[in-house]
Amino acid sequence: MTPTAAPSSSNPIGTLSAGTLPILRTVEDLRSQVAAWRREGLTVALVPTMGALHDGHLGLIRRGRELADRVVASVFVNPTQFAPHEDFDRYPRDEGGDAAKLASAGCHVLYAPTVRAMYPQGFATAISVGGPAEGLCGTFRPQMFGGVALVVTKLFLQALPDVAVFGEKDYQQLMVIRRFTRDLDIPVRVEGLPTVREADGLAMSSRNAYLSADERARAPELNRALTAAAAALAAGAEADGALTGIRGRIAEAGFGTIDYVELRDAETLEPVSAVTRPARLLAAAWMGKARLIDNVPVIPAG
Ligand code: AMP
């Protein structure tokens, strides 16, 4: 590998870089970089992603910069969280574009390991999470949270950051990560960032690239329906009616299969039928070839 970034005291590794952003491919290089920062007394934030970065991801980087002295972003499309029929092969990939965006957001290092480096020949370990991983996306994508737990645990142990930042856009995933981090005594603080949205309310997502222009115009109705129902629930509306109302509204807007629309406790993710403490409305539905997910808080009035 030809070094193109000038090594500095906090970047002792000869690394391939895009602009000024070093790109590390191996766990050894990542650990050397983090160790060099540690020797300087610097703190480290990790932002795991699957790439095809948008402003939601960059919000996590900016939050990481507020929370720590150095920010590592990982880009790894993790095969263990996709079922064979899902979009692993066609998931958008753009490492050059990602590196440029990360550099502009103030990220210090991009960690982009290969699949073979993360899952070498003979890899034989799995992690199974219950509790918040049950139901919702856990029902419709049964392999997902085991794969997320595996890759995030590996990334945590590889980078050993002080803090890691995840988006509330994937609210169930955030709760699952908090759960196994606590359960496995992994010494990493897990921070959540509110969902970053397009001007019309659509949650930013790499999978929005799958939407046609017409589907893109219809997609914000998911957020509008959730937001309206959350206000009604907070004011005392009955849950079944609110959930049925969301289903009708998004079906009308052109969503096809609705995987779920549910009201859950905001912390435990247990199903709730009335809002007496902070809750979360969560939904997943298909618009054309894109499976869109979204969620909003429901805060009881008074
Ligand atoms: P992904 O690359 O889709 O796996 O997402 C990587 C991280 O970015 C996860 O923590 C996501 O929750 C977060 N993320 C994705 N989209 C958004 C968004 N619109 N707002 C905030 N965080 C997001």
Q: How do 44-49 and 70-75 pair as beta strands?
A: parallel
pLDDT reported for residue 11: 42
Asked if pLDDT for residue 16 goes beyond 50, the answer is no
> Tokens 């958008």 sit at which residue?
92
Cβ of 59 less than 6 Å from ligand 1: yes
Q: How do 109-111 and 163-167 pair as beta strands?
A: unpaired
Of the residues 21, 44, 57, 243, only one is catalytic, namely 57
290 CA to centre of ligand 1 in angstroms: 16
Name the pTM for this structure. Answer: 0.94
Question: Residue 216 in contact with residue 201, Cβ under 8 Å?
Answer: no
Read off the pLDDT of each residue in 289-297 and give the average, rounded to a whole number: 98
Integer Cα distance of 47 and 64 in angstroms: 7
Q: Which residue has the CA at smallest separation from atom 7 of ligand 1?
A: 49
Question: Residue 95 in contact with residue 112, Cβ under 8 Å?
Answer: yes
Helix (H, G, I), strand (E, B) or coil at 32: helix
26 CA to centre of ligand 1 in angstroms: 23
Integer Cα distance of 173 and 168 in angstroms: 8
Cβ of 50 less than 6 Å from ligand 1: yes
Band (8; pLDDT cuts 50, 70, 90): very low
Distance of alpha carbon 235 from the chain centroid: 30
75 CA to centre of ligand 1 in angstroms: 12
Q: Which residue has the higher pLDDT, 10 or 209?
A: 209
The domains of the chain, with CATH numbers, are 23-193 (3.40.50.620), 206-297 (3.30.1300.10)
pLDDT tens-digit map of 211-264: 999 999 999 999 999 999 999 999 999 999 999 999 999 999 999 999 999 999
From the number of C-beta atoms within 10 Å of its C-beta (0-12, 13-18, 19+), residue 232 rates as middle
CA dihedral 21, 112, 27, 133 (to 10 degrees): 130
Question: Residue 262 in contact with residue 271, Cβ under 8 Å?
Answer: yes
pLDDT tens-digit map of 85-109: 999 999 999 999 999 999 999 999 9
pLDDT reported for residue 20: 79
pLDDT tens-digit map of 21-60: 999 999 999 999 999 999 999 999 999 999 999 999 999 9
CA dihedral 241, 247, 248, 251 (to 10 degrees): 180
Q: How do 109-111 and 70-75 pair as beta strands?
A: parallel
Asked if pLDDT for residue 7 goes beyond 80, the answer is no
pLDDT reported for residue 2: 33
Average pLDDT of the chain is 94
Known binding residue 196? Answer is yes
From the number of C-beta atoms within 10 Å of its C-beta (0-12, 13-18, 19+), residue 302 rates as exposed
pLDDT reported for residue 19: 58
Cβ of 57 less than 6 Å from ligand 1: yes
193 CA to centre of ligand 1 in angstroms: 9
Atom of ligand 1 nearest to the CA of 195: 20
Q: Which residue has the CA at smallest separation from atom 10 of ligand 1?
A: 166
Read off the pLDDT of each residue in 133-152 and give the average, rounded to a whole number: 98
Known binding residue 122? Answer is no
Atom of ligand 1 nearest to the CA of 57: 8
Catalytic annotation present for 57? yes
Residue type, 234: A
Cβ of 56 less than 6 Å from ligand 1: yes
Distance of alpha carbon 236 from the chain centroid: 31
Residue type, 204: M
Band (68; pLDDT cuts 50, 70, 90): very high
Integer Cα distance of 45 and 148 in angstroms: 18
Report residue 157: phi and psi, to 5°.
Answer: -75, -25
